[in-house]
Amino acid sequence: MARFDRYQVMWEDATSHCEWKSLEEAKSDTPAICFTEGYLIEKNNRYCTFVMSFNENDIGDQMIIPTSCIRTMKKVGTKTFSKKDFEYKDEARKTTPIKSSKNRVFNLSKKR
């Protein structure tokens, strides 16, 4: 079993531009403000590591943010995962239609 805290993080990131512009325009450029939401798996005085996707053994999406770049970090929940959460059972698959943002209906069933 594994227990993870879920966070919403606002943080600053470096930006880069490859274009011609005036010196005054360049002086007005700023870092990007970014948003990440994920499960915190590591925190120390140098950085925080978040994961957004994972299975029983591996992680898929990972974001490592230097502590000095974090503006705000808000805990939004805690989730405990067990081995059973990651067991695949074909008979449990539902055929519930999902509506897209354009009100299209998708049927996630394997039957076609």
Of the two residues 108 and 39, the one the predictor is more confident about is: 39
Angle (CA) 81-85-87 rounded to 5° is 145
Within a domain: 112:
no
40 within some domain: yes
Cβ-defined contacts of 37-42 (< 8 Å, 24+)? 37/6, 37/7, 37/8, 37/9, 37/76, 38/6, 38/7, 38/9, 38/63, 39/4, 39/5, 39/6, 39/7, 39/79, 40/4, 40/5, 40/6, 40/7, 41/4
Residue numbers of the domain that contains 68: 2-107
As a whole number, the mean pLDDT across the chain is 87
Q: Which two tokens stand for residue 101?
A: 């943002």
Within-domain flag for 92: yes
pLDDT digits (tens, 9 = 90+) for 83-101: 888 888 776 566 666 666 6
Q: What percent of the chain has pLDDT over 90?
A: 63
- Structural domains counted in the chain: 1
Q: How many CB atoms lie within 10 A of CB 5?
A: 13
